[in-house]
């Protein structure tokens, strides 16, 4: 990425107040899952960028980029004359991201440490700001959205991709699935996280004053061997300590849930309807239009 004094000055002012860290951690296995997740959601992300019309020369920021996010797609769209910033609050995730950027040869991408709700990046600087699966993992989604929108120039675009667990189920149904999903929901609720945040995003963008807000929602189908087929079990393993600590179930029950459900999901005819993924985007109004930003 070319030398950019404006961005560097903005980041020099960044303050890093203590914030809840990414609830799923920053292990090597989580990095691998997130890389595979980026690939799995790439067709939908490409469609979104097509609808928005991201142009060569644009300045773009991917908030909560993790080890890749959509940095590769943005890098290609904005080209050598554009610039992409990847923002994340986990140093280890940024370290993983640097490896991804180097491996893919993304010359116009710069990674920065910062909080999604208080990035320290310059206001009204970017043409496009994006966040995927960030709001479901933070207790302050309104603050994150406000900060993300503040980074975009008048006339620029804010795009949010986030899920709503309303559609997350398996077929044939199984009581162990229902039990585990209820436990995972409770774990997140206890930490101020909303697993139904996807449906709320359009209204939140309207409330911020964005205009021409548009949306699309879809629910992928996963089968045995697919990335998200066993995701509840993966989450249960990650959250095991919190589940026991919150007395949502005993360790023996959790082990049984994971074992029985793993067997059910491995059957050839079992499939999972994944969380409903909302893609929502809107435009920051120009100065003669009212805005809460």
Residue 6 has pLDDT above 60, yes or no: no
d(CA 269, CA 169): 14
Cβ–Cβ < 8 Å for 28, 50: no
For residue 40, the model assigns a pLDDT of 87
For residue 224, the model assigns a pLDDT of 92
Does any domain span residue 83? yes
Does any domain span residue 247? no
Helix runs in 209-282, H state only:
231-238, 240-245, 251-265
Grouping H, G, I as helix, E, B as strand and the rest as coil, residue 180 is helix
Mean pLDDT computed over every residue of the chain? 90
Beta strand 83-88 with 59-63 is parallel
Helix 71-78 with 91-104: angle, nearest 10 deg: 50
Q: Cα–Cα distances in Å, from 266 out to 1, 172, 186, 223, 275?
A: 45, 12, 26, 8, 19
Range of the domain at 49: 5-12+22-164+194-221+273-283
Please count the structural domains in the chain.
1
Does any domain span residue 232? no
Q: In this predicted model, what pLDDT tens digit does every residue of 70-117 receive, in sequence order?
A: 999 999 999 999 999 999 999 988 999 999 999 999 999 999 999 999
Does any domain span residue 240? no
Q: What CATH number does residue 203 fall under?
A: 3.40.50.150
Does any domain span residue 170? no
Mean predicted confidence (pLDDT) in 19-27: 56
Q: Which residues are CB-neighbours of 259 under 8 A, at least 6 positions away?
A: none
Does any domain span residue 249? no
Q: In this predicted model, what pLDDT tens digit does every residue of 185-212 receive, in sequence order?
A: 999 999 999 999 999 999 999 999 999 9
For residue 22, the model assigns a pLDDT of 59
Does any domain span residue 198? yes
Q: Which residues are CB-neighbours of 184 under 8 A, at least 6 positions away?
A: 195, 232, 235, 236, 239
Does any domain span residue 65? yes
């Amino acid at each position: 990425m070319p030398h950019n004094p404006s961005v560097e000055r903005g980041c020099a002012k960044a303050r890093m107040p203590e914030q809840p860290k990414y609830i799923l951690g920053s292990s090597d296995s989580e990095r691998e899952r997130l890389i595979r997740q980026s690939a799995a959601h790439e067709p939908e992300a490409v469609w979104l960028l097509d609808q928005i019309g991201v142009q060569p020369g644009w300045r773009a920021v991917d908030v909560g980029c993790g080890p890749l996010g959509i940095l590769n797609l943005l890098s290609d769209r904005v080209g050598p004359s554009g610039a992409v910033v990847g923002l994340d609050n986990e140093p280890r995730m940024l370290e993983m991201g640097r490896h991804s950027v180097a491996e893919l040869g993304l010359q116009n991408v710069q990674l920065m440490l910062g909080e999604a709700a208080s990035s320290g990046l310059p206001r009204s600087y970017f043409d496009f700001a994006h966040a995927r699966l960030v709001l479901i993992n933070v207790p302050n989604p309104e603050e994150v959205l406000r900060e993300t929108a503040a980074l975009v120039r008048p006339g620029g675009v804010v795009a949010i991709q986030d899920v709503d667990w309303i559609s997350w189920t398996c077929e044939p149904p199984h009581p162990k699935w229902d039990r585990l999903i209820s436990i995972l929901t409770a774990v997140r609720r206890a930490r101020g996280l909303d697993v139904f945040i996807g449906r709320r995003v359009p209204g939140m963008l309207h409330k911020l004053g964005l205009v021409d807000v548009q949306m699309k929602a879809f629910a992928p189908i996963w089968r045995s061997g697919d990335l998200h087929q066993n995701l509840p079990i993966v989450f249960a393993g990650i959250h095991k300590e919190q589940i026991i600590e919150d007395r949502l179930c005993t360790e023996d029950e959790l082990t049984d849930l994971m074992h029985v459900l793993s067997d059910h999901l491995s059957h050839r005819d079992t499939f999972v309807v994944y969380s409903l993924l909302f893609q929502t985007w809107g435009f920051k109004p120009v100065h003669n239009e009212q805005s809460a930003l």
